Structure 1
Amino acid sequence: MPDSGRPVVQENMLDNAQVMRALERRLVAHIAAGTTDCGAAAMRVSASEYADPARLEAEKRELFRKLPLVAGFSCEIPNPGDVMLFEAAGPSIVVARGRDGTVRAFLNMCMHRGAQVVKECGNRKLMTCRFHGWSYDLEGRLVGMPSEGDFPGEDRDRLRLVQVPAGEWGGLIFVKAHAGEERIDVAAWLGEMAPLIARFNLGGAKPVKSDRIDIDTNWKYALNTYGESYHFGTLHPTTFSPAAFTNTNLYDRLGRHYRVTFSQRAQGDLVGKDESQWPAPPVYGGSHYIFPNTIIYGAPVEGGGTFLHMYRLYPGEAPGKSFTIMSCYRGGDVPASISDDVIAQTHDFIEMVVRTEDYSISAEGQRNLECAPPGHALVFGKNEIALQNVHRDIAEAIGMPLT
């Protein structure tokens, strides 16, 4: 079964409806055959991958401090003067849209005594530290310095906010959680994933709701729950399983990123039917994983348009601690007649399922792995190819081979 992502290359010349029809063909073939996209073999992963403090520190250092991370959607700071905070990766970072429309990011640290300059998101002309009133413009320049005469010899140009790498493309804002003036080439980082993300038209989205879920499990254990449908029938018998087939999904590998497309029960009715009898394909959707920690999921809204969900998973202070920031957005194609409450209700349902089912079982598994005997290993089936490749890619990125 395909696992290389090669079908995605052929999609670049197709519109969204044509792409969804092509994905439906693949799914219907799997439903008819009782199969799923697979890798070549099963794979063992040591329990220490989830419990080793040294590995956790390497992941924080190499993945969450050095690599581009999604700070948010462009629609969260759409106007000049809008600012937001990104603090999940470690340092407090303020992301600001300048008067020229450019997104810049800075350590949220006053150059006087190190206090935070911004405490709340919003729109402003200046960013002013509440400790002593030092003020910075949206480009990070120090423009207000009370009692400046008491700081002889200090040059304002040397007291700019510390810049961090940032970039914006396709409705997504990325930062790196360290000092630097680099402009992140987001399209290059996304690679083959870029045209798929572009299909969501994230620039036309609107934020609706966001929640944080704290979890007693390793961030990778939680991440593993998003990449396969093998568990749908047993873990989600009354929530997701009534609408989706178990162990029947597509997997397209896009460098270190991937797309997983789950099969819907209604698609089972298409088996054996001529395509001329199939209903119009749904809006473009599926689960899009952006290495190392973000999933953007698109699904149709009843009544028209696209529901967008973003999941960002982060390590905690110990191997068995992590948290997820789960945010939902209404697509720009959702009719005005559909209220934000409808989008929020869908978010609340998914948050409940993830928290009480996926993350509950994850916490149980984490406790067991931390007590497992030396040498104990988990087994990922060849039907869990997305999980296999994520673990390989993380191990390669942090320079620590799988054990």
Structure 2
Amino acid sequence: MTNESLVVIGSGPAGVSAARAFREAGGRGRVRLLSADPNPPYARPPLSKDFLRGESGEGDIALEGPGDDVEVTLGDPVVELGEREVRTASGAVHPFTRCVLATGAEPMRPPVPGADHPDVRCLRSLASSRELRSAARSARSAVVVGAGFIGCEAAVSLARLGVQVTVLCPESVPQQQRLGRDAGELILHWLKAEGVSVLRETRLESVTEGHRVHTELVPALDTDLVLLATGIRPRIGLAEKAGLAVERGRVHTDEHLRTSRPGVYAAGDVAFAHNPSAGRALAVEHWGEGLAMGEVAGRSAAGEAASWDAVPGFWSEIGDHVLKYAAWGDGFDHACPASRDGGFTVWYERGGTAVGVLTCNADQDYERGSELIREHRAIPPL
């Protein structure tokens, strides 16, 4: 018998990965995974792509569970993180000797009139993707606010469902600040090839009557559907209430994902974690990094000397085009594009060293780029 017990808060990639890794690393005692989401664990990337288009079902996007010896409670959010126990909305109290915060993030609505209207949609959960897919069946037109990866993916999916889509892009090309102008021009071309209209350097000013969109350039744009793809906000309410150290809107951790409170770890979107390879703390919102950080948190909670030192990376599918991106994520001095047979690569450098790589049909560059970034080496000759 043992008095050890682990409570994991959150059923996304970081939470499921943490519970599974804790067991794999020899963690003993009772393990509970508590989730506010009423649905069993599922993969989020398809929600803006094949699931939204109806090409895959809920069974196709189900995540492998944390294990048969992990107790999973759904639809009962944790409302208080105590010293050695958590309390849920239903009043249940769960004691722990170790706890992993994997509370994720929620969609961020811009502070403009009408953005909080019930008819203005966001896309983050399985429920929201179901609702958006249902609404698209009767919609002739849609406005997608934001030209990040989720906005671009969802815009193409809606267009393929027969909806006339307009994207409001705040920059001169999609993701210019993040990826540079050359990559943004390519993404813009892909969107237009799918029949998506892009209003560039255009910001949302208000939404009236639920479906009338107002911008500085277009005083009134009537549409059947409005989707906000304007970023996310980490769910740090529990951590703040519990007095954990918070920095830049996230829970501060070391490379082992330990927070300022002994026995409490944080992983995924909610964490601002030190990465020894980067030499600084990083904020990461990638699905794959949620899995990786969750594994480190789970193994650390079980007593292993695990650390998060990988270069953050993810994939995005915009129509038929697959982008692979790896970067520290905190800026670059120069973006250097290079053509490849049937694809392209963009190298990002700062201070003479590689800090990022973006590829399309150039997997060798992606793998090489991750290595160069991690080792703080120069980008290769173009």
State the TM bucket, normalised to the shorter chain.
under 0.3
Higher strand share: 2
TM-score normalised to structure 2 length = 0.27
Q: Which has the larger Rg?
A: 1
Higher helix share: 1
Tell me which of the two structures has the higher relative contact order, counting C-alpha pairs closer than 8 angstroms and 6 or more residues apart.
1
TM-score normalised to structure 1 length = 0.26
